[in-house]
Amino acid sequence: MPASLWLLALLFLAVASGFLLGRLDRLRLPRRRRLRPSHLPMRLGEPADQALRTMLDNLDCSPEEIDTPLALGRLYRKRGELDRATLIHQRMLDNKHLPESVREDVELELALDFLAAGLLDRAEQVLQQTVDRGGRHAPAAMRHLMSIFEQERDWHSALAMGERLLRRQGDIAPVLAQYCCELAERLLEHEPKAARRLLRRALALDGQCVRASLLQGQLEIRTGQWENALRALRRIRRQNPAFLDQALDDLERCYQALGREDDMLSFLLEACLTAPSSLLVVKLAQVLRQRAGAQEATLFLAQYMKQVPSLQGLHEIVEMNLGQAEGSTREHLDTLHQLTRQLLARRTAFQCSQCGFSAQALHWQCPGCKHWATIAPAPSTVV
């Protein structure tokens, strides 16, 4: 029988044996405790594994034969049988007659095996070799390395690798801006000059990076540069008005430090006309209260609430009237104040546009899908 037919027979035996053994394992388990294929341990020495090794040891490196073990390795990895996937790819790399172009494919597959198994050090080593060699898989290897560095929170290495990839793929610039922000956050307090350079770099990479503007404003406030801080924070309104709520308190500090309360009022009024939000309207009501009294502020907020009801607005109206109420009215308002506060604490404040992940706090990288800058104020919190 020709060698190719022997290989096909051995491959059929390997797949069939693995399938039958998997079925038997599932039948032995109680119905509620069945395990997915990714949870099945690899039992070395089984006929399937022996057949697999024999097939790989006698692998013909012709293009027709190479695709089969590569497809089989991907299948094992998809099923969670990472030992078998790794075995296939490592045995293929041991073959001295493997064409160089195929060797690059196999190395990338092996790196993905290591990533799936959580072996970041081994994956990084293989991917770095791919990058250094500069083959056709170098860009993909760079992206995977960036992902590894992200998991390790090694932002310097992630940024350095991203800068290399930026020459080939300009669409990663917003991600690199986030790396700059991660580094700048660490330096805000102790190394403001270095932090300032990183934030300028972030805005050069992505002019719409709200995070960089927020951090820049905080940095300039720390150093007493109120005009610079105000300029950075006002920029957020042009970048993404939905995030202006995150800068309201800092904006108020800047305007007060500069003695420009009237400008603060004008800015809030203009922002409310173009892109209103519950928090923005509440902040405007608070400023009105300071300048014109609680009655005027309550009247303004009540009129607005008639047109655009919001829980945040109701909570603020109750709070404004609580101090002036007496007797049973105060008791009722105090109860309502506590209820609205509890409801506000339970609401979804932020949501990812990619995977729908919801959170109470703002995350610049989604914990669910790991995308950058996809979490924004949830629709329920933006008017």
Beginning with the edge strand found earlier in the chain, give each strand of the sheet holding 358-359 in spatial order: 358-359, 350-352, 375-377
d(CA 279, CA 378): 13
> What stretch of H or E contains 357?
none
Tokens of 370: 């790991």
The values of phi and psi at residue 377, to 5°, are: -50, 135
Q: Report the DSSP beta bridge partners of residue 358.
A: 351
Q: Flag whether 272 is marked binding.
A: no
Q: Flag whether 254 is marked binding.
A: no
Region for residue 370 given its phi and psi (left: phi exceeds 0; alpha: psi -120 to 50; beta: otherwise): left
Amino acid letter at 319?
E
Secondary structure (3-state) at 290: helix
Q: Report the DSSP beta bridge partners of residue 376.
A: 351
C-alpha dist (Å) from residue 118 to 114, 127, 249, 284: 6, 14, 42, 50
Structure-derived torsion over alpha carbons of residues 52, 53, 57, 60, reported in degrees to the nearest 10: 10
Q: Flag whether 366 is marked binding.
A: yes
Length of the chain measured in residues? 383
d(CA 322, CA 184): 42
Amino acid letter at 114?
F
Tokens of 191: 């190394």
Q: Flag whether 369 is marked binding.
A: yes
The gap from C-alpha 176 to its chain's centroid, in whole angstroms, comes to 13
Do residues 102 and 67 make contact, with C-beta atoms less than 8 angstroms apart? Answer: no
d(CA 373, CA 366): 8
Annotated binding site: 352, 355, 366, 369
Mark the binding-site residues for Fe cation, compressed into ranges.
Answer: 352, 355, 366, 369
